[in-house]
Amino acid sequence: MNTRLNCLALASVLLATGTLIPEPASAAAGVRVCTFPGSPSVALDEAVAREALRTAGIALSLAPGGFDGSDDDGVSLKELNKALARKCDVIAGFPRSSVADGAGARMTFSRGYLRSGYVSVTTRESSAPTGGAEVVAATYASPAQLIAVQQPNVRLDLENTAALTVDAVASGHAHRAIVWYPAVVAYSITHPGQHFRIAGAASPYADWQLVFAFGKNGAALQPRVDAALEKMASDGRLAALTRKWTLPETAQTAQAAAATFAYRDGPARSDYAAWSMTLAAGHGAEQGRIIKVDASTAADAPGFDSAQVAHGKTLYSGACAKCHGPNLQGLNAPALRGPAFAPAANAKLTIGGVYGYMTNNMPADRPGKMKPQEYADIMAFLLYSNGYSAGSTKLTDDNAKASKTPLNAGPSQ
């Protein structure tokens, strides 16, 4: 099975879609622990699970077939529901991110046992191109792709798996790779003669923690597992287990500390400067940038009609929903509705800034592939979804670009 690391994006899918209720494990079997198939951190996840549950005095049985039936697109929500309902009580190695959407989530999570994430990888022989775009490998439909597409002057080499993404750099097919760090560790184990240079990927999409996720019995299990992890951290056992998986100092310097998780629909408010890479108002919507609100600017939102909203919704479903969610709630990309995107007041972004960013950088797999009017129709759908009312005036590409109106939620919100 050639499973890509879409289990990282899966965390947000689960959090956005609601409850998963497993049946209780039998006393004879103990607590059944599953890991994600194809994840390079499986060996670590199982080792931490064994030691944590042993420390907590809880009987454990590993359920390696908990996700049988998975395909090359990773673990689906249906497969996860089935696994938690029938085969496991705890998922070890569940990835959580500060930009994941926690709306309506009822799962219970432990404290993090490994802070990891996405890094920039080169070989010791790699050098940046003297002219033209830098070829950057990234795993398709993963946070790595979203990180890479925001970087200037790059040409993406999209790979189907994290292992192939690392190999693209090792084989010289790409100058650099954005990849989940445990995949680099796993690749180095199977290719002991290969050495890499690791740097941080300065993006809120980069920072993740591995935790235990509990189903129905989480209220009873979570405090005991947390106490065990705390004890393991204090006596050095956790550090010993995670040592080779821990981000090197060269990567940690680019990522902000994450003492607590800030789950909301979109990036935490303090992350706006990082994820939007803002410019002062009036400098223009350069590629990869979003324009800040000028406090002195007062303007009305540009108009749009209902036909654009309907067409924009169709376009969004085909090109945007796989990352931003079918209901704009955010999956492995920020939410496009709600207070983090369009607050009731004191917006940090303008409509024109968001539109310029979208036309230059989205969709992540083929930035700029749509026609100008198609982007305008998607913007009309986003405005409508955030409380703006349709009228009789059609939103054009020029009007959307020129808008300096703060992106506050419309009156119907």
Residue 200 neighbours by CB distance under 10 Å: 20
Q: Tell me the pLDDT of the chain averaged across its residues.
A: 76
| pLDDT of the residue at 271 | 33
Beta strands (DSSP E) in 160-291 are: 176-180, 196-200, 207-214, 278-279, 290-291
Q: What is the DSSP letter of 246?
A: S
Q: Is 111 exposed, middle or buried (0-12, 13-18, 19+ CB in 10 A)?
A: middle
pLDDT digits (tens, 9 = 90+) for 364-373: 777 778 999 9
Structural domains of the chain, with CATH: 7-114+208-252 (3.40.190.10), 116-205 (3.40.190.10), 269-402 (1.10.760.10)
| pLDDT of the residue at 9 | 44
Nearest to 121 by CA among 83, 61, 164: 164
Residue 329 in tokens: 């709630």
Nearest to 11 by CA among 160, 306, 227, 213: 213
| pLDDT of the residue at 33 | 92
| pLDDT of the residue at 182 | 94
d(CA 27, CA 216): 15
Nearest to 8 by CA among 194, 140, 155, 196: 140
- pTM score, whole prediction: 0.61
d(CA 105, CA 100): 11
Q: Which residues contact 168 (CB under 8 A, 6 or more apart)?
A: 137, 157, 159, 174, 177
| pLDDT of the residue at 229 | 97
| pLDDT of the residue at 316 | 94
d(CA 155, CA 138): 10
Nearest to 324 by CA among 393, 267, 372: 267
3-state helix, strand, coil in the chain (%, to 5): 35, 15, 45
Q: Is 13 exposed, middle or buried (0-12, 13-18, 19+ CB in 10 A)?
A: buried
10-residue mean pLDDT profile of the chain (413 residues): values are 39 36 46 86 95 95 68 54 77 78 59 93 78 84 77 82 93 93 94 92 83 82 95 97 91 51 30 29 40 57 94 93 83 77 81 87 80 95 93 94 88 63
| pLDDT of the residue at 81 | 65
Find the angle CA(247)-CA(252)-CA(256) to the nearest 5 degrees: 130
